[in-house]
Chains A and B, each alone.
Chain A
């Protein structure tokens, strides 16, 4: 996600790292590189100016002179300032004390509001709520239809008075509709609009005045450039925004818009969208995001996601086996199935620190590969799965035939399995049970 920015800052820090001590001069160079890196990351010009000044203020004085490891010092300073900028901690959705909770989604065209509405509904449903998706976009052709389809996919209720109705009426009526259907959360999907379109901005103001939503989320795209400050400011002036939903975080945009949006609205980013599927939604954690900006990876959210779906006991068993390097193809298969539950492999791999650096860019993982691998392992006897060494030429041919693959595919899998096993063994041996590697080893692969 923020990989490119991380690389830039890393380069800036490297200049300091080589030089034992932090002087005002070499810090100036680094700050200039940080400034350029942030600008290239699409953080707004004025925001960058302020940020760099803050970092400088924090660095000069007591910190500078007695600094032992100047590189780390600056890393920490930049990290702290980034965290400070992006807000304190993770803020959850504000739920009404007496239902229904009304959540309104607003933003420019093409930011992903309708998809986001579906993701939020799916997310809330998993938490035991019964959301109602309300289609209030009467302008974009088939937008209401899209919301209905998304509602169907998420398995939640949807409602709209249709394209010929006043969207304000649709939003007002939604309350009674929710009551009738026993829904406790109402998600209003409004039309995308330009912040400079007086008439359309008036419409969202009227919707807001009529329904008094508990949350008004500004949906914005992570690829947005300098203009993020203008649109966010005008939406924030027109409506009391309560937060930001940052979409398309799964691309390679540096996402500096996040920093601009928070600065201008003074509101936290509550969620990020990380893919096209309904479960591609994550809470926003400033510290984690700052870690990520500085190339420290996103281990925490990976672990969190893993905990949601992975059978803890099995994971522990695996860890034990991995430590002893006694795990076999059966375990390999099981782990893969667990991983599959967590979502796409690509999404997952990108969260591992250093992974995207290692691969040069975002890691792509062919989901079909998993299917083939599964088929190959299923075509083995239990004995073969437990002790792959017995798999000779004729067994390979049988397995290939049975799984509809080729002997080469079987060979490749066996080789990969051996390499993985070796890698895991080294990982386990290298760092024992504690620290960063220990954390990673708790993961199911």
Chain B
């Protein structure tokens, strides 16, 4: 986002402290086996990566890669191998466009926020609204979660907190109609950014995914080129199903990136490595706490550094 890069690593380290400690401990244990690199190091590494939710395939491929690198370069001590691991993870996470620009060629920039139930969509939108406002952008919220009880109220409270106007209908209204009205209002008022909240839905519910497609379509009808970003909000505690979520949401919509939330617990969110590796969907944002400033832009090197430092 708009925040300067300086201090990001420090902040991340501090916030990821809880996530880190367990992982670092494990990594240290793995790599402190007397210095020599043997099978037990690779087995330990497998355990660490699996427990970080990277998944079987991704873990096995990373471990295999490290085995061959260790052999090729005749790596004998664990520290050097540890560097190889960080490098490999960074290489996987780096490709793609991780930036969010919040600018359209013409008219308002529209972001559609989607994800399964309880991943943190509305909270992410609230934080984004605060961020963008602080950066001097004019923002409008679209309350297209008309299904869940009091979802509109929840977003309305964020709108009041951030002083950002909101377009909403009654509970149970057609979410596509809300999205259209929000796009219409965004154009008429000439705001910089429109953030559209949608109801949480399981990616396997075909009808609900069709509903999202329709929302994407009508927004584009009112504002050609919109939505400019479709953010998939993913809970860091999610296991291997995260890959399936990313796959099906991407098949249905033009998902431009992932917002990884709830990294302030002990979950490592390693599924994003698989998502980036297998589907090529870049991570754009990470949520490392409840505060408005705890939503951070993603940077692969910083992320890996913070995880393993």
- Interfacial residues, chain A to chain B (CB-CB below 8 A): 36, 39-42, 44-45, 108-112, 114, 140-143, 145-146, 148-150, 153, 194-196, 221, 223-228, 230-231, 248, 250-254, 256-257, 276, 361-362, 364, 366
Q: Are A109 and B120 in contact (CB under 8 A)?
A: yes
Q: Are A141 and B158 in contact (CB under 8 A)?
A: yes
What are 13 pairs between A and B in contact, CB < 8 Å?
Answer: A40-B240, A112-B118, A140-B154, A141-B161, A143-B150, A146-B149, A146-B153, A223-B116, A223-B242, A225-B267, A231-B237, A253-B244, A361-B204
Contacts of B171 in A (CB 8 A): 149
Contacts of A250 in B (CB 8 A): 202, 204
Contacts of B239 in A (CB 8 A): 42, 223-226, 228, 253, 256-257
Interface residues of B in 99-127 (CB under 8 A from A): 116-120, 126
Q: Give the docked Cα–Cα distance between A44 and B237 (Å).
A: 13
Task: Give the Cβ gap from A8 to chain B, nearest Cβ, in Å.
Answer: 10
Q: Give the docked Cα–Cα distance between A13 and B202 (Å).
A: 31
Q: Are A45 and B265 in contact (CB under 8 A)?
A: no
Closest residue of B by beta carbon distance from A234: B266
Q: Does B192 contact A (CB under 8 A)?
A: no
Q: Does B5 contact A (CB under 8 A)?
A: no
Q: Are B238 and A224 in contact (CB under 8 A)?
A: yes
| Residue in contact with B157 in the complex, picked from A142, A227, A228, A257, CB distance below 8 Å | A142
Q: Are B202 and A109 in contact (CB under 8 A)?
A: no
Task: Give the Cβ gap from A113 to chain B, nearest Cβ, in Å.
Answer: 9
Q: Give the docked Cα–Cα distance between A40 and B190 (Å).
A: 48
| Residue in contact with A109 in the complex, picked from B116, B118, B126, CB distance below 8 Å | B118
Q: Are B117 and A226 in contact (CB under 8 A)?
A: no
| Residue in contact with A45 in the complex, picked from B50, B153, B204, B240, CB distance below 8 Å | B50
- Interfacial residues, chain B to chain A (CB-CB below 8 A): 18, 22, 47, 50-53, 55-56, 116-120, 126, 147-151, 153-154, 156-158, 161, 171, 202-207, 235, 237-242, 244-245, 262, 264-268, 270-271
Q: Given contacts A110-B235, A142-B153, A230-B22, could you give 18 more A-B pairs where the C-beta distance is less than 8 Å?
A: A42-B53, A45-B51, A109-B118, A140-B154, A142-B150, A142-B154, A143-B150, A194-B265, A221-B237, A223-B235, A225-B240, A225-B270, A226-B53, A227-B266, A230-B267, A248-B118, A252-B203, A252-B244
Contacts of A41 in B (CB 8 A): 240
Chain A residues touching B, majority SS: loop
Q: Are B116 and A226 in contact (CB under 8 A)?
A: no
| Residue in contact with A223 in the complex, picked from B158, B205, B238, CB distance below 8 Å | B238
Q: Give the docked Cα–Cα distance between A36 and B50 (Å).
A: 11
Closest residue of B by beta carbon distance from A361: B204
Q: Are B154 and A141 in contact (CB under 8 A)?
A: yes
Closest residue of A by beta carbon distance from B17: A196
Q: Are B158 and A364 in contact (CB under 8 A)?
A: no
Q: Give the docked Cα–Cα distance between A362 and B265 (Å).
A: 32
| Residue in contact with A195 in the complex, picked from B147, B158, B205, B266, CB distance below 8 Å | B266
Contact A145 B241, CB 8 Å, known A45-B51, A110-B118: no
Task: Give the Cβ gap from B183 to chain A, nearest Cβ, in Å.
Answer: 24
Among B151, B206, B242, B266: residue with most chain A CB under 10 A: B266
Q: Give the docked Cα–Cα distance between A114 and B202 (Å).
A: 17
Contacts of A110 in B (CB 8 A): 117-120, 235, 262
Q: Give the docked Cα–Cα distance between A362 and B204 (Å).
A: 7
* Closest 3 A/B residue pairs (Cβ): A225-B239, A110-B118, A42-B239
Task: Give the Cβ gap from B281 to chain A, nearest Cβ, in Å.
Answer: 18
Contact A251 B116, CB 8 Å, known A40-B56, A257-B239: yes
Task: Give the Cβ gap from A353 to chain B, nearest Cβ, in Å.
Answer: 19
Contacts of B120 in A (CB 8 A): 109-110
Contact A226 B51, CB 8 Å, known A110-B118, A196-B265, A231-B266: yes
Contact A194 B150, CB 8 Å, known A142-B157, A224-B238, A226-B53: no
Q: Are B149 and A227 in contact (CB under 8 A)?
A: no
Among A41, A110, A149, A366: residue with most chain B CB under 10 A: A110
Contacts of B241 in A (CB 8 A): 42, 223, 251-254
Q: Are B202 and A40 in contact (CB under 8 A)?
A: no
Contacts of A362 in B (CB 8 A): 204
Q: Are A251 and B204 in contact (CB under 8 A)?
A: yes
Task: Give the Cβ gap from B64 to chain A, nearest Cβ, in Å.
Answer: 14
Closest residue of B by beta carbon distance from A220: B237
